[in-house]
Structure 1
């Protein structure tokens, strides 16, 4: 069932996992909205080396981490951990949640997820353990009510504008030579162009 637990002492930290291939404006909007709505001390981006439920990334782990660093450079409440990039493939959320708990035993841990991933929570490794340890912050993709998983969870919906932006859209745009300005932070757009990521042509500046 959906409910919020009584708050406890310690920092309020949200883990935001994903491929980030590449990171885009939508990710930053989610992080900013969650931080404001739930009084988070920090939103920690956690790029996965390889998600067990997704195809392999096009950019290398180091390139995806570099783009994230550029994207959050001026975001005071955003951080980055590369721990999943250093582990053997694939990346499992339970390992990351456990590591966060060991680092900060008194923290309240939140987990930012999209509604699609949340609805498929039962497919995750150690899903019940994760659900006992964290409060899910669900980023909606549609205006409809978010479907809840079969296992008990603590969860809240992030109130935010709907943005039709995805990493897939950006990669396809680059391949077509279409502009990606305003879809990704400018330093990320420049990096994609310098590195020649996602296609033979650099993204347009228009």
Structure 2
């Protein structure tokens, strides 16, 4: 049975924190792969100002050199708002012999009671929570906590720095940095 970690998000842009979290969880839980799932339009956030194709391409660049990192475009293909329940139930149907682990930050652990069909979702996937500064990892739902080095980087922080004309070098992978600069994103 393959063990697959799922890491969803807008990846606007994908950054070193995403990759470090994915690698630590993959290594700790001995997962076969981490599937990065870019969302078309998240139900809990404002739509991205950057095109879906730019976000998808940046994620391809960010994960290209890791044999265990894959991108799954299920939510991009669905278009519109995507709920985790819809995505996970489709993946479980498509890959019935796989075991899925859904990676979430501490900010999302606190938000779990508000997730769409959370009671059914916890029956389909194992939640893995990673620490994030300023948040606790307490919840009534089954969440396996993984200790990951504190990486206090967010896509919002990166966008704000870029918009202010400050460097984002070393916050994002080298190829993502080049793509952002080449296309004048977030300025």
SS for the counterpart of 1:136 is strand
TM-score by structure 2 length? 0.96
Deviations 1:110-136 (A, max 9, x none): 000111112111211111111111111
Residues 1:58 and 1:94: Cα distance change in structure 2 (over 3 Å): same
Task: Work out which of the residue numbers 93, 101, 126 in structure 2 matches 1:102.
Answer: 93
Q: What stretches of structure 1 of length at least 5 have no aligned partner?
A: 1-9, 200-206
> For 1:4-83, what aligned pairs fall within 5 Å after superposition?
10-83=1-74
* 1:142 CA displacement: 2.8
> For 1:151-170, what aligned pairs fall within 5 Å after superposition?
152-153=141-142, 155-170=143-158
Q: CA separation in 2, counterparts of 1:85 and 1:143?
A: 31
Q: CA separation in 2, counterparts of 1:72 and 1:188?
A: 10
Q: What stretches of structure 2 of length at least 5 have no aligned partner?
A: none
* 1:58 CA displacement: 1.9
SS for the counterpart of 1:33 is helix
Residues 1:175 and 1:75: Cα distance change in structure 2 (over 3 Å): same
TM-score by structure 1 length? 0.87
Following superposition, which runs of at least 4 residues in structure 1 exceed 2 angstroms of deviation? 142-145
Deviations 1:19-55 (A, max 9, x none): 1100000000000000000000010000111111111
Q: CA separation in 2, counterparts of 1:81 and 1:145?
A: 29
In terms of fraction of residues, the more helix-rich structure is 2
The number of aligned residues is: 187
Counterpart of 1:171? 159
**CA RMSD across the alignment:** 1.3
Task: Select the structure of larger CA radius of gyration.
Answer: 1
